[in-house]
Amino acid sequence: MAEGIIVAVSKFPSEEHVDKFCKPGRGEKTCRYLTMTKDGWNCAKATALRQEIDARVANGTMNSKGDNCQGLLGLILKRHQELEGARVRYEESMPSVQKEGTLQEIGVRDGILQINVGWKGQTEEFSPSINTDCLDISVVDNSIVFGVAGVPGSFAGKTTIFLG
């Protein structure tokens, strides 16, 4: 797998991206999802914070109102070909399910993220899917983890794409 995608997702948003799209310090044009951590800029668009941020914008209690890009999901979709062929694990705890396979395709259709996987030793058709309005994406230990925002662990199912 290309090192480029590993660096890009683990360092998202880059300084260049922040300047071009997030527009810090520009009042209402500043992206509402731009946050700062001890490690630098962060994007909260595909996290559990999204719903709270959107509610604050709707209630008029937030200065930054921009929604300027697709966030980390946009980067992943733009560079999806670098992920194809990667190892994937799907886990769910109600009922207890764990599957592994190879990523065939990832995309969004009608507001639903669909992750198509060739599952090892299984012939059944199953593609993890999550509504992008409640999508939680995290980058952990050279992997991208997709889940449902606000639902802990693998209760609602989580899909991990391994980058290394």
Q: Which of helix, strand or coil describes residue 93?
A: strand
Topology, domain 84-162: PH-domain like (2.30.29)
Domain boundaries, the chain: 3-77, 84-162
Per the CB < 8 A criterion, the answer to whether 129 and 109 are in contact is: no
Distance, in Å, from the CA atom of 81 to the CA atom of 109, rounded to the nearest integer, reads 17
pLDDT tens, residue order, the chain (164 aa): 557 898 899 999 999 999 999 999 999 999 999 999 998 999 999 998 999 999 999 999 999 999 999 999 999 999 999 999 999 999 988 778 899 999 999 999 999 999 999 998 876 778 899 999 999 999 998 999 999 987 766 667 899 999 98
Q: How far apart are CA 150 and CA 37, in angstroms?
A: 20
